[in-house]
Structure 1
Amino acid sequence: MTETGKPLIHLVDDDEAVRHSASFMLRLAGYRVQTHKDGVSFLDDVEKLEEGCILLDVQMPKMSGLAVQKELNARGIGMPVVVLTGHGDVSVAVQAMKAGAVNFVEKPYEKQVLLKALEEAFAQLESQSRGAMHKADAEKRLAHLTPRETDVLEGLVEGLTNKAIANSLNISPRTVEIHRANMMEKLAVDSLSSALRIAFTAGLGED
C-alpha cells in the first residue's frame, strides 16, 4: 500500500511525548498520522484537513476534548472520534459517547486496545453512508435484556460505576458485575463503549 493509500489519523494531544510515541506506534501499525498540539489549533485547521479518524485527548489546556467534540458537531464535521480518557473516568467517557464518539480508550492504553478502537472508527467511516447501526436493530438487541440487566445498562449510560449502580438498585456490586456480564453477552459486545453505542442508538438515556 502506498503512503497516500494508508488511513489517516489526526492525533490531538497537548503532551508532546504522547504525540511522539503514539504517532510512532501508529505509523508502524500502518497508519498515516498528523499531530495537533491542542484542540484550538486543530479546530483552526480542521476544515482544510484530509478526512480521517480523530484520536482526541480529553484533558487538554485551553479547550477540553469534550469542548472540541461539541464544536466539531456544531460545524457538522463527521469524522469519527476516539477519545483518550483518564483511567476510570467513566462519566467523561459516557459524555464523549453521547456526543457521538465511536470509542474511548483509557490512559495508559495498551497498543492492541487502541488499535482495535481505531479499526472500529475506520469501519464506521466506511459505513457512514449506509448507517452503521440502525435504531431498530439496536432496539431489538436491548429487547433481549432482563429488566435488571436494563437497569444496569441505564446506570452505565448515566456514567455510574458498578458500586454506584449497586447502591442505586440496592444490590451488591458483585450482583451488578454478574448482570453486566450477562448484558454484554446478550448484546454480543466485548467493551463498554460498544454497549453504550447500542444504548445510545436505541435512544436509551435521552433527555
Structure 2
Amino acid sequence: MGAKCPVYVVLKDARIRRNLVETLRAEQYHPTPFSSGSDFLEALNHLPAGVAILDLHLADNWVDVLAQLLGRRKDIPVVTTAENVNIQTVVQVIKVGADDFLEQPFSKEMLLEVIDQASVLLASREDIQRQRDCADSLLKKLTTRELEMLRLIQSNKSNEAAANELHLSVRTIETYRLRIMRKCGVTKFSDAISIVAIALDGRRQL
C-alpha cells in the first residue's frame, strides 16, 4: 500500500490523539498531532494539503477555528468529531462548512472510511486553493485606486458612472482598465473582475 495524504489530528484528549496518530501511521497516512486549534492555525501556512480531524471540545471556540481554517485553506477537508453531541450541533457544524462528522467513540473502520471519503475531495480542493492563491497574488499588485475603480465597475457601474464617482475622466478610467488587465494577465476586463472576486471572497471569510 502506497503512502497516503497528510492528516492533521487536532484533538484535546492526549490519549485519543496518540491512538489516532498510531492508527493512521500504520495505515500509511502522514498524521500530525495538534493539541489546540490555535497551534493548528499557527502552523496552517506551512502545512501541505491534507485532511483535518477537528475536535469540537477544544479549549478554543471550534466555530472560530473552523471558520478561520476554511477561510484560509480550501485544500484541507475537515472531519469534525466529538462525543455526546446533539443533532443541532452536528447541523451547525455542517452549515459552518465541515465536510463530515464522526461521533466518538468510533471504530478504526469508521475512522478510515471517513478519512478516505474526505481525501477524495483533495484534488478539486487543491485546484480551488491554487486559484485563490494566484488571485490573491494578483490582487496585491493592484493599487488602492485600481481596486476602488474595479469594485465600482464590478457593481455594474459604467465607465461614465465610475468616472463621476471617482472624479476622473472616462479616458482615465479606460487607462485603469487596461492597466488592471495587464497586471492580471488577461485580455478581457470581465476575467480580471473574476480573478479579483475570488481573492476578495477569500479575504472576507477570514
Cα offset, 1:58, TM superposition: 0.6
Deviation at 1:35, TM superposition (A): 0.5
Q: Tell me: CA distance 1:129–1:76, structure 2 relative to 1, closer, same or farther (3 Å).
A: closer
TM-aligned CA deviation for residue 37 of structure 1? 1.1
Q: Which position in structure 2 is the counterpart of 1:81?
A: 78
**Paired amino acid for 1:67:** D
- 1:28 deviates by 1.4
CA distance in 1 between counterparts of 2:126 and 2:64 reads 26
Which structure would you say has the larger Rg?
A: 2
CA distance in 2, matches of 1:128, 1:41: 23
Secondary structure at the aligned position of 1:82 is classed as: strand
Gaps of 5+ in 2: 129-206
Q: What is the CA deviation profile of residues 26-53 of structure 1, one whole-angstrom value per residue up to 9, with x for unaligned ones? A: 1112211000110011111101111110
Q: Deviations over 1:82-130 (max 9, x none)?
A: 0002234222221111122111100111111111111110011124478
Residue 62 of structure 2 corresponds to 65
Q: Distance in 2 between matches of 1:76 and 1:129?
A: 9
Q: 1:51 aligns with which of 49, 74, 83?
A: 49
Alignment length (residue pairs): 128
RMSD: 2.0
2:116 paired residue number: 119
| Partners of 2:95 and 2:66 in 1: CA distance | 11
Separation in structure 1 between the aligned mates of residue 10 and residue 25 of structure 2, nearest angstrom: 15
Q: Distance in 2 between matches of 1:91 and 1:78?
A: 27
Kept in 1: contact 2:49–2:122 (CA 8 A): no
| 8 A Cα contact 2:10 2:33, kept in partner | yes
User: In the superposition, relative to structure 1, how do residues 129 and 60 fare at CA in structure 2: closer, same or farther (>3 Å)?
Assistant: closer
Counterpart in 1 of 2:40?
A: 42
Identity among equivalent pairs (%): 27
CA distance in 2, matches of 1:84, 1:36: 14
TM-aligned CA deviation for residue 76 of structure 1: 4.6
CA contact (8 A) 1:85 1:93 kept: no
1:92 correspondence with 2:84: no
State TM-score, norm by structure 2. 0.57
- In the TM superposition, structure 1's runs of 4+ consecutive aligned residues that sit over 4 Å from their partners are none
State the Cα distance separating 1:6 from its structure 2 match: 2.5
Segments of structure 1 that go 5 or more residues without pairing to the other structure are 132-207
